[in-house]
Amino acid sequence: MATGTRSDDIENFGTVSKAVGTVFRYVLLAATLFGIVVLGALLVYVANDAIQPLTADPGWHLTFLLTLVLPTLGVGGYLYRRDTDALRFGATTVGMTVVTLMFAGGVGMIFVDILSPFVLLAYTVGLALPFAAVLVLQRRARRIPFLTRAGVTTLAFYGSLFGLPGPVGTAVGVPTIVPGVPGLIRSVPTIPLGWMSLTATLGLGVAALVGVYAARVRTRRAGLFAGVGALAVIATSGVLGPFVGVTSVPAVVLASVAVVPTVVYAAGTVASRPSQRVGMLVPAVVIGGTLVGEVAVGALGFAGPQSWVDWQFLTSAHSRNAIDAGLYPAIGGSILLMGTVAVLSFPLGVGAAVYLEEYAPDNRFTRVIDVNISNLAGVPSVVYGLLGLGVFVTYLGRSTGTVLIGGATLALLILPIVIISSREAIRSVPNEMRQASYGMGATKWQTVRRVVLPRAFPGILTGTILALGRAIGETAPLIMIGAPSVLFSLPTGLSSKVSAMPLQVFAWSSLFASEDFYTKAVPAGVVVLVSVLLAMNSVAIVLRNRYQSEQ
């Protein structure tokens, strides 16, 4: 007996039961998926409430299944097995189309209802003139002392924007003798059409970027052609837009923000990596399938779903009636807030990160700043709202709930996040590059500007986009600073009252709580808000993956 047991022992030596480990592994997997699956299910529910796909005719579903879903799955499956790089390129093009279209919607909204293109033109010229003058000055005379140069630059920009002696003169009682360039342009009796101004500003800028990109991928000649071509496309869209049912200004925005960049990205990738050309099948199938399906559905008379997320919802203001309620002022408010937050938090956050990583001596004070920033990141957002309320409203006596106060409060809120992520990006720049720059005799600032910041820029951008996503979803600070939960018109400037998408959703789900709002307006608002955030997050994630694989 004893010998039998021993030989069993020997036979079993080294074999271990896998049961516990396997169970553990699947428990871990289930735990990992739990949150994702729950959130996914909730998003499906809310999308179902908002879009109501089941109200469409079966024929509608069948048409789109045949024209869009099956071809896309076919092409996707084929590429997945043959060439995943091409598939990734194709999917990126489709994603870029969607994201740029959303972005174009936002930009278009600004130029249609908030900022007239002519004003933009006036200020662009007002900025471009002194910029060119300073550039010429630097080319001609290199050995001007720094302080003189800085003084001349400041004076040129100030004079061009505000006139001489301008607001400073007015403050001490001297009337303005020479008017500023924007004022001068705006006083010209004949003003160009909106789309022309926009082509000359936004369109020209986009075309210049396209030209630089093409020149880098190919030759200078190609860059020139691409730039001129892009400008021609943008200008043509302004002329032809009204004939296909889009007014000129949105058509120019659409062309310069969505169409031209996407086409240039696709063309540039095809030109530099011909092996991935086959990936263009994906956008062709998706966009073509959507258009064909749309035409077929119209011809056959199949009704689409009774979605609550429709043109009416996106373009009208709040209403007591859930069916008529819309998100337009809130979308505009969110866009303006995001712009203000970006302008305030980006330079300050990056500046603090540069100081802490590149300049700060290793002493007690630096450590205090360090600890302080990580603690600020943990302060609840509602406390930042109190800060905004107390400092801006109570002590500085500003009126409540304006774009500027909301933007400043949100900027303070995301500043620690921007600083922390920018520091990580700056830290990942290899030290050898800094040493090489110093070895060539560069000063600290030259090294930071020409070596560290360009190299860290994609990482900084990713962190900033994620932080902006956080800011756009915040509600509590806006409530604290007294932003109105119901607003019927778009904010027109920095000092007008602002609402925001999450605030509007909150108002519908608490102040106007009713079955109607719960099943119509709120799900639609949630779908719009979540789509915007998903778009921003995926841009950040794609940027980061690309940047990490390059390093």
Partner 1 sequence: MSTDDIVDDLTRDTQNAPAELLTRSFFFVCAVLSIVTTVSIVVLLVTEAAKFFSITAPLMGVEGPTASLVDFLTGTTWEIGNRKFGVLALVSATLMITIGSAIIALPLGVATAIYLSEYAAPRHRAFLKPALEILAGIPTVVYGFFALIYITPAIQTVLPGTGTFNLLSASIVVGIMIIPMVASISEDAMSAVPDELRQAGYGMGATKFDVSTGIVVPAALSGIFSSFILALSRAIGETMAVTIAAGSQAQFLNPIDPTAYQEGALPMTAAMVQLLLGDITGGGLAYRSLFAIGLTLFVITLVMNVISDLIAQRYREEY
Q: How many whole angstroms separate alpha carbon 529 and alpha carbon 527? A: 6
Taking CB under 8 A as the rule, does residue 375 contact partner 1?
yes
Q: How many whole angstroms separate alpha carbon 102 and alpha carbon 531? A: 9
Taking CB under 8 A as the rule, does residue 209 contact partner 1?
no
Least gap, CB of 109 to partner 1 (angstroms): 20
φ, ψ of residue 402 to 5 degrees: the values are -90, 165
Smallest CA-to-CA distance from 477 within 404, 397, 380, 373 is with: 380
- Range list of β-strands (E), 368-462: none
Number of residues located near partner 1, criterion CB under 8 A: 92
How far does the chain reach from its first CA to its final CA, in angstroms?
Answer: 65
Stretch that binds partner 1, among 115-123, 168-176, 274-282, 389-397 (CB under 8 A): 389-397
Least gap, CB of 423 to partner 1 (angstroms): 11
Q: Residues with Cβ < 8 Å from 103, sequence gap 6 or more? A: 257, 258
Taking CB under 8 A as the rule, does residue 45 contact partner 1?
yes
* C-beta closer to partner 1: residue 245 or 378: 378
Least gap, CB of 64 to partner 1 (angstroms): 26
Taking CB under 8 A as the rule, does residue 325 contact partner 1?
no
Applying CB under 8 A, among 373, 451, 452, 461 the residue interacting with partner 1 is 373
Applying CB under 8 A, among 107, 253, 297, 352 the residue interacting with partner 1 is 352
* C-beta closer to partner 1: residue 252 or 448: 448
Taking CB under 8 A as the rule, does residue 390 contact partner 1?
yes
Taking CB under 8 A as the rule, does residue 206 contact partner 1?
no
Residue 482, CA distances (Å) to 159, 247, 411, 500 in order: 37, 36, 17, 12
Taking CB under 8 A as the rule, does residue 394 contact partner 1?
yes
Applying CB under 8 A, among 157, 355, 457, 547 the residue interacting with partner 1 is 355
Q: How many whole angstroms separate alpha carbon 166 and alpha carbon 156? A: 12
Taking CB under 8 A as the rule, does residue 356 contact partner 1?
yes
Applying CB under 8 A, among 120, 387, 404, 521 the residue interacting with partner 1 is 387
Taking CB under 8 A as the rule, does residue 526 contact partner 1?
yes
φ, ψ of residue 495 to 5 degrees: the values are -105, 15
Which of positions 492-521 make contact with partner 1 (CB under 8 A)? Answer: 502, 505-506, 509-511, 518
Tokens at 292, concatenated: 């064909």
Applying CB under 8 A, among 102, 208, 386, 543 the residue interacting with partner 1 is 386
Q: Is residue 443 within 8 Å of residue 452, measured between CB atoms? A: no
Taking CB under 8 A as the rule, does residue 551 contact partner 1?
no
Query: H-helix or E-strand containing 505?
Result: helix 501-510
Residue 184, CA distances (Å) to 127, 128, 458 in order: 13, 14, 39
Taking CB under 8 A as the rule, does residue 374 contact partner 1?
yes
DSSP state at residue 488: S
Q: Residues with Cβ < 8 Å from 510, sequence gap 6 or more? A: none
Stretch that binds partner 1, among 124-132, 244-252, 279-287, 523-531 (CB under 8 A): 523-531
Applying CB under 8 A, among 202, 233, 285, 415 the residue interacting with partner 1 is 415
What residues does 164 pair with on adjacent strands? 178
| Burial state string for 391-423 with b = 16 or more CB within 10 A and e = fewer than 16 | ebbeeeebebbbbbbbbbbbbbbbbbbbbbbbb
Least gap, CB of 145 to partner 1 (angstroms): 8
Taking CB under 8 A as the rule, does residue 80 contact partner 1?
no
* C-beta closer to partner 1: residue 179 or 482: 482
Taking CB under 8 A as the rule, does residue 359 contact partner 1?
yes
Taking CB under 8 A as the rule, does residue 476 contact partner 1?
yes
Taking CB under 8 A as the rule, does residue 146 contact partner 1?
yes
Q: Residues with Cβ < 8 Å from 72, sequence gap 6 or more? A: 282, 285, 286, 289
* C-beta closer to partner 1: residue 93 or 381: 381
Q: Is residue 237 within 8 Å of residue 252, measured between CB atoms? A: yes
Which of positions 4-23 make contact with partner 1 (CB under 8 A)? Answer: 14, 16, 20-21
Between helix 70-82 and helix 84-109 the angle, nearest 10°, is 130
Applying CB under 8 A, among 91, 125, 348, 543 the residue interacting with partner 1 is 348
Smallest CA-to-CA distance from 99 within 540, 398, 425, 536 is with: 536
Taking CB under 8 A as the rule, does residue 444 contact partner 1?
yes
Applying CB under 8 A, among 179, 183, 339, 482 the residue interacting with partner 1 is 482
DSSP3 helix / strand / coil % (the chain, rounded to 5)? 80, 0, 20
